[in-house]
Amino acid sequence: MPGYRDLFDASINDPAAFWGEAATAITWTREPQRILDDSRPPFYRWFPDAELNTCANALDRHVENGRGTQAALIYDSAVTDTKRSYTYAELLDQTARFAGALRALGVGKGDRVVIYMPMIPEAVIAMLACARLGAVHSVVFGGFAPHELAVRIDDVRPTVVVSASCGIEPSRIIEYKPMLDAAIAMVSHPPKNCVVVQRDRCHCELTEGRDLDWDDVMADATPAEAVPVAATDPLYVLYTSGTTGKPKGIVRDNGGHAVALAWSMGHIYDIAAGDVFWAASDVGWVVGHSYIVYAPLLVGATTVLYEGKPVGTPDPGAFWRVAAEHGVKALFTAPTAIRAIRKEDPDGRYLADYDLSALKYLFLAGERLDPDTYHWASDKLGIPVIDHWWQTETGWPIAANPMGTEALPLKAGSPTVPMPGYDVHILHDDGHGCDVGEEGAICIRLPLPPGTLPTLWNAENRFEASYLSEHPGYYLTGDGGHFDEDGYLFVMGRIDDVINVAGHRLSTGAIEEVLATHPSVAECAVIGIADEIKGQAPRGLVVVKAGAPTEGLAEELVQLVRAEIGAVASLKLVDVVPALPKTRSGKILRKTMRALAAGRDEPVPSTIEDPAVLDALTPILRT
């Protein structure tokens, strides 16, 4: 197999040849003759004359090729103490039947279906069933508030909404149906029908004439065959988290998505048919779409669907139990999950209870992986800990360590190198390239590779204005960073998280890296606040490990930053806080904290995991 550099160079020098070869891993109903349509820059399309069905690639072909009895999906619910395994044949049967049920409700090729569900197998089945019909699914994170659900329904205009009676948290039940009813009451374009999974913990009242019970429609359903669609037809629309007002719907096409995800599983994650892969995320986020549902099934692997938390369901050993019981080869989660485990079990005692001999890799993404968390996980697990970086918009990694291609030396704080297809450049505000080690805007030269967003839902002008206009010929990621002398990429955070202290541009991520090295710090965040003399100054917020002393800690951290970065960092204010406000996907709400520290009233993001954390932090930030 060619090494990383050969693959990368080939993908940049002749992208059509590179991705044409990668496309042979997919089963097409009409083979692509033209690989890249570059006739209308900056809008590019992959495999414009090809035809396929994504569901058939994920399920039917594996059954036809003799893998029908292999486990396709393992459902492990720590909150209900339920486990169930679906073979490829069983998952295909369930998916074809629900596709038939949707077809009977008027859903066809190009129609939209909103999926508002917890982490249960029916959510995966619903997504695959939409793909089977050529319908477009839009998954809304289960438990989103009615207003946020309503604006998404009105934007995508679904024929059907698929939901459940409730979601189950460690300490409470979240009733979905009242929120769904409230959302539908707000919309201008209500769905014709809602299909609802009744969960044992909470049954809901169905609205006569509109709502249908999942079990009832499945009992009467005639299985549907896979419908071929154009490679450029949309597979799904996924709205970016934290959207207010008019939502931003990321479009994913069928052909490029299948090719890119199948390529990534083998080359980046070292996962092949029969391997067990676990993305500990939610189907409401892009990680869930790409690496719980589609990518593992496209290559014939077994995927794990986990309903639970990294801690508290019941203890900090939850992830290790799941990995051990199901023989997981690669675990993919967010750094915040590992920090939560480390906070509760800093010595890693729970690891000793489980046989993790099958676990070969821990992949982390979704936010910056601070070096301290990287070292803790590496030391405790004794396996490669792979930081990688990507976005909802790209759908698969921009930068990673390609473990299935060539395992490169790891560097703490770096997601390693750009993946094939991603021609990454660091640019100044004026568009000129930055030198090695010099921080700037991370941009990707067009065309973006297959699997990335071709546009926004019904908003082509907005797509161009948001991503393509700042630096013509490039996609603006919105993140800042630099390359080192070895070509390793360092992503230091959103461009908004660069502060100007007395004329010096400082990355808050760099300061966070230093704070995180202190043995008492479990996690931290740094925000920029107004300063009368220097314009801006950094402010640190830290959460300490269980049992760690806090007396004198703030002063120690100030001195630590001064020693590592220098007096120019001007860090003088550090607060020890019980928790940091985060989205449900684990991202720290730095923008919200900046607004509160500036005395502005900031709407609470719909994606917040626990509003009480922000309530407790507000008086601290405004002091």
pLDDT of residue 568: 63
Residue 590, in any domain of the structure: yes
**Weakest-pLDDT range from 37-51, 84-98, 185-199, 533-547:** 533-547
Q: For residue 265, give the amino acid letter.
A: M
pLDDT of residue 1: 67
Residue 575, in any domain of the structure: yes
Interatomic CA distance for residues 609 and 586, integer angstroms: 8
Q: What is the average pLDDT score of the chain?
A: 92
**What is the domain range of residue 538?**
502-621
pLDDT of residue 196: 98
CATH number at residue 219: 3.40.50.980
DSSP string, 477-537: EEEEEEE-TTS-EEEEEEGGGEEEETTEEEEHHHHHHHHTTSTTEEEEEEEEEEETTTEEE
pLDDT of residue 503: 53
pLDDT of residue 245: 45
Does position 68 have pLDDT exceeding 90, yes or no?
yes
End residue of a domain, out of 172, 200, 227:
227
pLDDT tens track for 430-485: 899 999 999 899 999 999 999 999 999 999 999 999 999 999 999 999 999 999 99
**Residue range 28-38: average pLDDT?**
98
pLDDT of residue 510: 76
Residue 341, in any domain of the structure: no
Residue 336, in any domain of the structure: no
If one counts the domains in the chain, the total is 2
pLDDT of residue 143: 78
Does position 244 have pLDDT exceeding 50, yes or no?
no
| Bridge partner residues of 207 (DSSP) | none
**Residue range 558-566: average pLDDT?**
81
End residue of a domain, out of 227, 245, 273:
227
* Proportion of the chain in helix, strand, coil states, percent, rounded to 5: 35, 25, 40
pTM comes to 0.86
Residue 114, in any domain of the structure: yes
Interatomic CA distance for residues 448 and 451, integer angstroms: 9
Q: How confident is the model at residue 243 (pLDDT cuts 50, 70, 90)?
A: very low
Residue 464, in any domain of the structure: no
**Residue range 37-56: average pLDDT?**
97
Residue 212, in any domain of the structure: yes
pLDDT tens track for 331-366: 999 988 998 999 999 999 999 999 999 999 999 998
Does position 265 have pLDDT exceeding 90, yes or no?
yes
Give the residue, 298 or 584, on which the prediction is more confident.
298
Q: How confident is the model at residue 396 (pLDDT cuts 50, 70, 90)?
A: very high
pLDDT of residue 429: 86
Q: For residue 317, give the amino acid letter.
A: G
pLDDT of residue 2: 83
Q: How confident is the model at residue 256 (pLDDT cuts 50, 70, 90)?
A: very high
Helices (H), 83-176: 88-104, 121-133, 146-156
pLDDT tens track for 480-520: 999 999 999 999 777 766 676 655 557 787 788 889 999 99
Residue 77, in any domain of the structure: no
pLDDT tens track for 563-582: 777 666 778 889 999 999 98
End residue of a domain, out of 172, 202, 227:
227
Q: Contact at 8 Å (CB) between 388 and 397? A: yes
pLDDT tens track for 161-190: 999 999 998 888 999 999 999 999 999 999
CATH number at residue 614: 3.30.300.30
Token representation of residue 512: 């966070």
Strand ranges in 172-308 using DSSP code E only, listed in sequence order: 173-175, 193-197, 211-213, 229-230, 234-239, 249-253, 276-279, 302-307
pLDDT tens track for 100-144: 999 999 999 999 999 999 999 999 999 999 999 999 999 998 877
Q: Considering the chain, what percentage of its residues have pLDDT values greater than 70?
A: 96
- Residue 86's CB is within 10 A of a number of other CB atoms, namely 22
Q: For residue 139, give the amino acid letter.
A: V
Beta-carbon contacts of 113 under 8 Å, excluding residues fewer than 6 positions away, are 102, 107, 126, 130, 135, 136, 137, 138, 158, 159, 160, 161, 162
pLDDT of residue 422: 98
Interatomic CA distance for residues 202 and 143, integer angstroms: 14
